[in-house]
């Protein structure tokens, strides 16, 4: 439920409403706008309807929240949430770029890619130290050694680190090295893991599941937000359909739909969405045109020798070309590209 206060409501007026609601066992979220102050209430709405909130003089309106996700809803939080990491912002008109190899394979690779993507304008270095693979015999990642390499490479070239956590037991360890903790598509509905990263004081990148609806993605984000972590970045990375010419089907309509219904930023991963290096650049440009708050791209100097997802990785020179296209097509975003 949303409580809209009248213009001019004082801090003591607001505190009175908050105290009244909390005394009844409800959770609250406060959003101060230019014109109005809004209080979001989490709890059983039937009980709230029994309380005469409209009788409070400075309450203008009481409205139900129609969306099943509350904290992630734009009804609760009208202004865009902006997540900033190491000088790179996502949301609110900013366009952040995350780039790097699919997996951390070696120190030499991580440092080489970090230098190239930084020079081209990326702000965040990506790389998997824990790799969820379809086959148990495929490369599973270097684990903590990979995290150490990723952190060292990012620090040397002034980049942030984005890497995936797969298990609740590893959250503390991964957060020690990462600036953004990623929840992969296969774990989008791992509610214990979502709740655990919700306790972190670091941004969470939440990828859409292979067969998940946009509503389900936002409901998963709700688990993180409910724990107190408001710094959530959503990621569209393609969904599974009947089409087999690409690895997945990139649902670019998810970008404006999320923006309409949620205040959270959403980026696009054209690498996993298409599974083809030759489609990464056009789909990344399409993502910017659709209004995405950033992209995540896989970059590898020698894709044919990559231990993971070489077919969808672009070479550093092609990534540099992509960044140049961004600046050419959207000069207003240049200031946000590092």
Backbone angles phi, psi at 188, to 5 degrees: -60, -30
pLDDT > 80? residue 252:
yes
**Residue 166 token pair:** 């797969």
Check residue 230 and give left, alpha or beta (phi > 0: left; psi -120 to 50: alpha). alpha
pLDDT beyond 90 at 133: no
- pLDDT at 279 exceeding the cut of 90: yes
Per residue in 165-180, pLDDT (tens digit) is 999 999 999 999 999 9
Instruction: Report the pLDDT value the prediction gives residue 48, as an integer from 0 to 100.
Output: 66
C-alpha angle 208-105-205 in degrees, rounded to nearest 5: 25
Percent residues over pLDDT 70 in the chain: 91
Eight-state DSSP code of residue 332? G
8-state DSSP, 300: -
Q: Yes or no: say if 184 and 207 are a contact pair by the CB < 8 Å rule.
A: yes
pLDDT band at residue 282, thresholds of 50, 70 and 90? very high
Predicted TM-score (pTM) of this structure: 0.86
Question: Which stretches within 72-200 are classed as H helix?
Answer: 107-120, 144-157, 171-177, 191-197
pLDDT at 56: 82
Please give the biggest Cα pair distance in the chain.
69
How distant is the alpha carbon of residue 36 from its chain centre?
28
Higher per-residue pLDDT: 64 or 280: 280
Mean of per-residue pLDDT scores for the chain: 90
User: Radius of gyration over alpha carbons of the chain, in Å?
Assistant: 21
Domains of the chain and any CATH numbers: 2-63 (3.30.70.1140), 83-336 (3.20.20.70)
SS3 for 296?
strand
Query: Do strands 204-207 and 160-164 pair parallel, antiparallel, or not at all (unpaired)?
Result: unpaired
């Amino acid at each position: 439920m949303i409580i809209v206060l009248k213009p001019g409501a004082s801090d003591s007026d607001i505190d009175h409403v908050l105290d009244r609601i909390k005394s009844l066992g409800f959770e609250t979220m406060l959003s101060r706008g230019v014109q109005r102050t809004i209080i979001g209430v989490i709890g059983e709405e039937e009980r709230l309807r029994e309380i005469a909130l409209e009788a409070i003089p400075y309450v203008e309106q009481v409205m139900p929240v129609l969306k099943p996700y509350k904290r992630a809803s734009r009804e609760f939080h009208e202004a865009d949430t902006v997540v900033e990491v190491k000088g790179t912002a996502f949301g609110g008109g900013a366009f952040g770029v995350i780039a790097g190899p699919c997996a951390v394979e070696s120190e030499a690779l991580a440092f080489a890619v970090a230098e190239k993507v930084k020079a081209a304008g990326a702000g965040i270095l990506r790389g998997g130290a824990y790799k969820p693979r379809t086959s148990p015999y495929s490369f599973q990642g270097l684990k903590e050694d990979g995290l150490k390499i990723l952190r060292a490479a990012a620090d040397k070239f002034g980049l942030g680190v984005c890497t995936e956590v797969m298990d609740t037991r590893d959250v503390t360890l991964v957060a020690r090295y990462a600036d953004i903790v990623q929840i992969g598509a296969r774990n989008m509905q791992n509610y214990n893991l979502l709740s655990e990263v919700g306790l972190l004081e670091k941004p969470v990148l939440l990828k859409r599941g292979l067969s998940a609806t946009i509503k389900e993605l936002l409901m998963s984000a709700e688990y993180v937000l409910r724990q107190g972590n408001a710094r959530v970045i959503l990621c569209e990375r393609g969904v599974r359909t009947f089409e087999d010419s690409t690895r997945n089907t990139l649902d670019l309509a998810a970008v404006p739909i999320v923006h309409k219904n949620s205040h959270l930023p959403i980026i696009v991963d054209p690498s996993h969405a298409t599974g083809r290096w030759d489609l990464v650049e056009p789909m990344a440009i399409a993502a910017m045109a659709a209004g995405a708050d950033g992209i995540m791209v896989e970059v590898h100097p020698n894709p044919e020798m990559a231990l993971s997802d070489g077919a969808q990785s672009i070479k550093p020179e092609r990534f540099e070309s992509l960044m140049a296209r961004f600046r050419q097509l959207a000069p207003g975003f240049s200031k946000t590209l590092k």
